[in-house]
Structures are given as structure tokens and as C-alpha cells.
Amino acid sequence: MRLRPAHKLLLLLSLAGMFLAPSRASAQILKPCAGGITLKINASVTTQGSLLLTEVLGAKTVIGISGEWDGRAAPLWRASEKSPVLHGLLGVDLEKAPGHYEWKVSWKTADGNAVTCSVPVTVRAGKFPTERLTVEKQFVQPDPEQLKRIEEDQKKMRAIYDTLTPERLWDGKFRLPLQDMAAGGNFGRRRILNGEARSPHAGVDFPALAGTPVFASQSGKIVLAEELFYSGNTVVIDHGYGIYTLYAHLSEIGVHSGDAVETGAQIGKVGATGRVTGPHLHWGLTIQRARVNALKIVERQP
Ligand SMILES: [Zn+2]
């Protein structure tokens, strides 16, 4: 959304708070398992909306290795075919109940024995501010026809996020979706729209002028390029292994569903379509269905 001076001050204050607040992240964990395999995770304590980096070391000869996080498959991949290290990303959904969880890895030894090894992970509540906004009435009290559209949109998005493409479509580092724009905010904010509580804000907002080019933050396949009720003109890119980025409220879409895109390809322009209070880019990151702060994937590379 467009930032008024008061909002700019708030943004500065919250950025300062991020640097001044004592870090709640814990040190990385190395867990030795049977057969010379070690599980590595970058933090054993994390917060809602975070991203965890995992590695399986010494996994050269194992068969059928698979990861699991919160009851769901957590894919593992090798940086190169012969590498003894497997990599993985775990998404912590922004509304994941605080508590104790486990990252589990299972495999078979050379003599056919099934082995499971796990690392405990504690999820803490994120500190997300609440904001009150006023939007057009239809976006808070949609009529029956609009409700039907919203349901169709949600079904479409669920089908996308339920699909786990079992290959890596990305290459190298993820980048920000706008040129010369480092400050994105609002992730995780609990929202009150026209006085009514709504689901939290699952993306990062970049205030920008309408027409500003929007770039693919990473290579992948376009799996959605159309207008949705709330997010307006929307593009979703599948990067493989359940990793998706979303670009919303575009004035124009420059790609089609099914297109392959490279990192930095222009996919559209900033706009104010859908439920907005002004032109901005809403950028989302979903990892195996978990809604994660997209800035984390730029800071921490898979
Ligand atoms: Zn947004």
C-alpha cells in the first residue's frame, strides 16, 4: 500500500526494532544419526512465517531418502548428482500453532534396514502488529456472485499449492521482484478491514508507482496468470519442490500460464487491481503450503 509519512515513520521504527531486538533465533543443530549420516538445521527455535534451511550430510550411499515436516513431505535435493549433501527448505506457516515439532528423515541402509532420524524444532509466535484499513465495501462484504468467484479462486490456489513438482526449476539466488527496491513490509500483519477481522497478510508489500516493472524472483514455470477477486491481476511461479512465488495487484500481466521464465524476466507491472488501498506489489512465498516471509528466501539461499 501507499505509505503516508506516518507510515514511513512506523516502517523505520519497525525496521529499527528488528535490528535492536535480541535475536530469538538459536544456533544451528547438527544431529549424528546411524550410518554416518548427520542432520543439520540452521535453527532449532524459530518463529511463525520463517524459513529453515536443512541439510543431510554423508548421504552418498543411502536409498530412498525422504524428509517430513509437520506430517507433510519435505523434499530433499542434491546440489549436484555426486554431492554427498542433500538440501531442503522447511516453511513455517505464519499461523502455525506455536509448539514443538520435528523434522524427520527416513532412508534405507545398504543392507535394507529402514532408519528414521529426527531433529526437534520449536516454533514461537511471531510478533505481528495489527493494522486497521478501509477498503471498498465489496472486498469485506462480497455479494453472492462475488463469493462464488472467491471460492473458485481459492480452489484454484489450493490446487496449485497442493502440487509438488518433484524437480528443481530454480537456479542460483532468489532476487527481489522490483529493481532498486529493498524495503518491503507488512508481512504477517493481523488485519482489521472496515472494522472486521480478516486473515493475516501473507505477503510482503513493496510500495511502488503503477507501471513499475515486476520481475520473476527466480526461474520456474508460470502456473497462474490471471485476475483474481482479492489479489487482482496475479502471477504465480512454480520453482519446483513445492516452492512458489506470487505477484499480486498488477496493472498488466506479461506472461501466460505454462510459460517457462528465467530469473529477472519481466512478468508484469505494478498496479492497484483487487483489494488494495493504492498501487503496490504484493509478493508472496509459499513452501510446501506454508506461507513464509518472502524476504527470507533472498536473505537465506537454498
Ligand atoms: Zn499485500
Report how far ligand 1's centroid is from the alpha carbon of 127 (Å).
Answer: 18
pLDDT on residue 302:
59
Report how far ligand 1's centroid is from the alpha carbon of 184 (Å).
Answer: 10
Report how far ligand 1's centroid is from the alpha carbon of 54 (Å).
Answer: 29
Q: How far apart are CA 135 and CA 55, in angstroms?
A: 44
pLDDT on residue 197:
82
Report how far ligand 1's centroid is from the alpha carbon of 191 (Å).
Answer: 11
Report how far ligand 1's centroid is from the alpha carbon of 235 (Å).
Answer: 14
Report how far ligand 1's centroid is from the alpha carbon of 280 (Å).
Answer: 8
Cell numbers found for residue 119: 531433529
Report how far ligand 1's centroid is from the alpha carbon of 63 (Å).
Answer: 43
Report how far ligand 1's centroid is from the alpha carbon of 224 (Å).
Answer: 18
Report how far ligand 1's centroid is from the alpha carbon of 283 (Å).
Answer: 7
Q: How far apart are CA 254 and CA 83, in angstroms?
A: 38
pLDDT on residue 259:
98
Q: pTM here?
A: 0.87
pLDDT on residue 80:
83
pLDDT on residue 182:
66
pLDDT on residue 5:
44
Cβ within 8 Å of residue 60, ≥6 positions away:
84
Question: Mind listing the pLDDT tens digit of every residue in the chain (302 residues)?
Answer: 444 444 443 344 343 333 333 344 468 999 999 888 999 999 999 999 999 999 999 988 788 899 999 889 999 998 888 888 999 999 999 999 999 999 999 998 878 889 999 999 999 999 898 988 887 787 778 899 999 999 999 999 999 999 999 999 999 999 999 998 767 888 999 888 888 888 899 999 999 999 999 999 999 999 999 999 999 999 999 999 999 999 999 999 999 999 999 999 999 999 999 988 899 999 999 999 999 999 999 987 65
Report how far ligand 1's centroid is from the alpha carbon of 18 (Å).
Answer: 20
pLDDT on residue 7:
44
Report how far ligand 1's centroid is from the alpha carbon of 207 (Å).
Answer: 10
pLDDT on residue 277:
84
Q: What is the pLDDT of residues 146-189, one digit of tens each?
A: 999 999 999 999 999 999 999 999 999 999 999 987 678 889 99
Question: What residues does the ion ligand 1 have nearby, CB within 5 Å?
Answer: 203, 205, 282
Beta bridge partners of 46: 123
Q: How far apart are CA 237 and CA 281, in angstroms?
A: 15
Cell numbers found for residue 282: 504484493
Report how far ligand 1's centroid is from the alpha carbon of 1 (Å).
Answer: 7
Say whether 246 sits in a helix, a strand or coil.
strand
pLDDT on residue 60:
81
pLDDT on residue 120:
95
Report how far ligand 1's centroid is from the alpha carbon of 284 (Å).
Answer: 8
Contact 47, 124 (CB under 8 A): yes
Report how far ligand 1's centroid is from the alpha carbon of 159 (Å).
Answer: 21
Report how far ligand 1's centroid is from the alpha carbon of 200 (Å).
Answer: 10
Q: What is the pLDDT of residues 1-26, one digit of tens each?
A: 444 444 443 344 343 333 333 344 46
Report how far ligand 1's centroid is from the alpha carbon of 94 (Å).
Answer: 14
